[in-house]
């Protein structure tokens, strides 16, 4: 047996590792992903925010999100700028910072319709894979989170995790974080998105972490331990 005095996760530095984390809203996956990315000095990618940024652009341009052909066309043309810093991820559309706007109720209510569009998914998945490949090749690595990262976007990730929590706990967290209206919209989005991706049941090779009774540091340490194990 070999031992090291370096903190768990630190051995991942500079290895270009890709960590894929999926889960429903209220599971804690975003906070965990950002914290882990910062801990191992990796980039962080919120793929759900990419769909939100595109949705904001569609609504801003008054494009009907149910017009799948027009939505797909706009997705191919839309200039999304993404900052992958873990604690300050920023999103811009055509040079306009929309980091705050994409969390609004209007976007939350419409994003599932956009995310269910197969052509839109094809465009954004290609972008996500490109960003992940860049991070891997640079040696920095990336923690990417969403709803289909472990199964579709990065099934070859070095570590694949599904983070969840009980329905009651997820509802409590959504309300505490986003308020009544946004929490209801997020719950509806989970229900609709589950028809496209199964982000409740882990696929083969994906580690399930139930955060219902866990604190944030406990979840982060569990993820770092998995990374350390693979390294």
pLDDT digits (tens, 9 = 90+) for 136-165: 999 999 999 998 999 999 999 999 999 998
pLDDT digits over 170-228, tens only? Answer: 888 877 776 655 555 555 665 565 555 655 677 788 999 999 999 999 999 999 999 99
218 is a domain residue: yes
Query: What is the count of structural domains for the chain?
Result: 1
pLDDT band at 6 (very low <50, low <70, confident <90, very high): very low
Torsion of CA 110, 60, 81, 54, to 10 degrees: 30
171 is a domain residue: yes
223 is a domain residue: yes
10 is a domain residue: no
Q: Residues forming the annotated binding site?
A: 23-31
152 is a domain residue: yes
183 versus 33: which is more confidently predicted? Answer: 33
5 is a domain residue: no
Contacts with 55 (C-beta within 8 Å, 6 or more apart), sequence order:
65, 102, 107, 110, 111, 114
CATH number at residue 82: 3.40.50.300
Torsion sign (Cα): 210, 216, 217, 221: positive
Which H helix or E strand runs over 82?
Answer: strand 80-83
pLDDT of residue 199: 58
Q: Coil, strand or helix: which one is 102?
A: helix
Q: What are phi and psi of 146, to 5 degrees?
A: 175, -135
pLDDT, mean of residues 81-104? 92
Q: Which of 74-78, 101-105, 189-193 has the lowest mean pLDDT?
A: 189-193
Whose tokens are 């599971």? That residue is 27
Residue 47 domain boundaries: 15-230
Q: Residues forming the annotated binding site for ATP?
A: 23-31
Q: Which residues pair with 45 in a beta bridge?
A: 144
78 is a domain residue: yes
């Amino acid at each position: 047996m070999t031992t090291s005095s370096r903190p768990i996760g630190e051995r991942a530095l500079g290895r270009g590792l890709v960590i894929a984390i999926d889960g429903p809203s209220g599971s804690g996956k975003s906070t965990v992903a950002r914290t882990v990315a910062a801990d191992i000095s990796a980039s962080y990618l919120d793929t759900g925010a990419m769909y939100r940024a595109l949705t904001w652009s569609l609504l801003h341009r008054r494009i009907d999100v149910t017009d799948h052909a027009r939505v797909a066309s706009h997705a191919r043309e839309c200039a999304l700028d993404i900052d992958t810093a873990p604690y300050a991820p920023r999103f811009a559309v055509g040079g306009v910072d929309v980091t705050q706007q994409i969390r609004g109720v209007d976007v939350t209510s419409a994003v599932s319709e956009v995310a269910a569009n197969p052509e839109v998914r094809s465009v954004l998945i290609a972008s996500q894979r490109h960003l992940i490949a860049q991070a891997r090749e640079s040696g920095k690595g990336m923690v990417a989170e969403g709803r289909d990262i472990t199964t579709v976007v990065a099934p070859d990730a070095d570590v694949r995790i599904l983070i969840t929590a009980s329905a009651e706990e997820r509802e409590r967290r959504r309300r505490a974080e986003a308020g009544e209206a946004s929490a209801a919209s997020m719950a509806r989005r989970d229900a609709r998105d589950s028809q496209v991706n199964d982000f409740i049941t882990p696929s083969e090779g994906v580690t399930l972490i139930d955060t219902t009774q866990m604190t944030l540091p406990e979840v982060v340490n569990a993820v770092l331990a998995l990374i350390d194990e693979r390294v």
